[in-house]
């Protein structure tokens, strides 16, 4: 067991402070009475009330949520299918090219991805707006879902599927009733990750957005350039809360599913 020294404790404290102290300060000053974000004027929730009367921010938030849900759902479906293809079908012509295309957005700078998608949409005459942002975010996040689901499939016990197939279950039914429930925690984690990445993206959305389709990060960035306001602190605090709740909920659901799966496996092993 590692012995905690003063140096180790200090290093961990400095690391956590560097990561989370700015977030804590942002949350605290979102309840600041004063209009000056650097001067504490007392506790108040008026900026949250003011935020919900700011129609521009509300419209941007609604666009962001719709883009996030749609792109995360599409990315989860496509990423799961890509992961199954890479794990289950290891010998097909063009596998190397397919694998590279799936994982390319992981290592590609977002500026290049955004510019490439912009040129594509312009070349095919696709008007930029809500759907171009959704397609761009699906392209960006699909590879992350594929990585998460692929890691689960690599440790998947295929004998369960083989037993179902031997008993006469069709492949499609086997997938939806056997495979999908087992890999569901990974699929759910992939969806949450894709949604979070879409919620956070600024660069790609800036390239692929159009009139009437401004996301919340774009709106925040444009307002911050004119000066940070308490309303920005409030909306950022709400985003932090949404992401935190999503991560915690996903962790709890995944843990419960893993525990239930282990119980089912032990029960099946002990069955006569």
Q: 61-270 adopts what CATH topology?
A: MetI-like fold (1.10.3720)
Going by pLDDT thresholds of 50, 70 and 90, the confidence category of residue 267 is: low
Query: Which residue do the tokens 């990060």 mark?
Result: 217
Contacts of 191 (CB under 8 A, 6+ apart): 72, 73, 75, 76, 145
> Which whole number is the average pLDDT over 208-220?
84
pLDDT score of 269: 58
Contacts of 97 (CB under 8 A, 6+ apart): none
The tens digit of pLDDT for each residue in 157-189 reads 778 878 888 888 888 888 888 888 888 888 988
Please provide the average confidence, as pLDDT, over all residues in the chain: 83
The residue that leads in pLDDT, 186 or 2, is 186
The tens digit of pLDDT for each residue in 53-108 reads 888 888 888 899 999 999 999 999 999 999 988 888 877 788 788 888 888 888 88
What the block records as the tokens of 111 is 């500026």
pLDDT score of 2: 59
The model's pTM is 0.81
DSSP assignment letter at 177:
I
Q: For the chain, give every domain's residue range.
A: 61-270
pLDDT score of 142: 92
Query: How many whole angstroms separate alpha carbon 225 and alpha carbon 84?
Result: 44
Above 80 in pLDDT, residue 146? yes
> Which whole number is the average pLDDT over 43-49?
82
């Amino acid at each position: 067991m590692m012995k905690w020294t003063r140096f180790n404790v200090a290093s961990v404290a400095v690391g956590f402070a560097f990561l989370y102290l700015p977030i804590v300060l942002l949350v605290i000053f979102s309840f600041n009475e004063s209009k000056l974000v650097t001067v504490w004027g007392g506790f108040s929730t008026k900026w949250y009330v003011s935020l919900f009367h700011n129609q521009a921010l509300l419209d941007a938030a609604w666009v962001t949520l719709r883009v996030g849900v749609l792109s995360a759902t599409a990315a989860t479906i496509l990423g799961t299918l890509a992961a199954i293809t890479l794990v289950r079908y290891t010998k097909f012509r063009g596998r190397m090219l397919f694998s590279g295309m799936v994982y390319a957005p992981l290592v590609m700078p977002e500026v290049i991805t955004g510019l490439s998608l912009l040129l594509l949409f312009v070349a095919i005459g696709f008007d930029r707006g809500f759907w171009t942002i959704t397609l761009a975010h699906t392209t960006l996040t699909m590879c992350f879902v594929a990585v998460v689901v692929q890691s689960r499939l690599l440790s998947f016990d295929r004998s369960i599927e083989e037993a179902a197939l031997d008993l006469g279950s069709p492949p499609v039914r086997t997938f939806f009733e056997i495979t999908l429930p087992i890999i569901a925690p990974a699929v759910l984690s992939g969806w949450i990750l894709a949604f979070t990445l879409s919620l956070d993206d600024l660069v790609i959305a800036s390239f692929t957005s159009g009139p009437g389709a401004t996301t919340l990060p774009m709106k925040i960035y444009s307002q911050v350039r004119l000066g940070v306001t308490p309303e920005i602190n409030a909306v950022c605090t709400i985003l932090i809360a949404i992401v935190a709740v999503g991560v915690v909920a996903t962790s709890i659901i995944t843990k419960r599913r893993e525990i239930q799966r282990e119980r089912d496996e032990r029960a099946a092993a002990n069955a006569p």
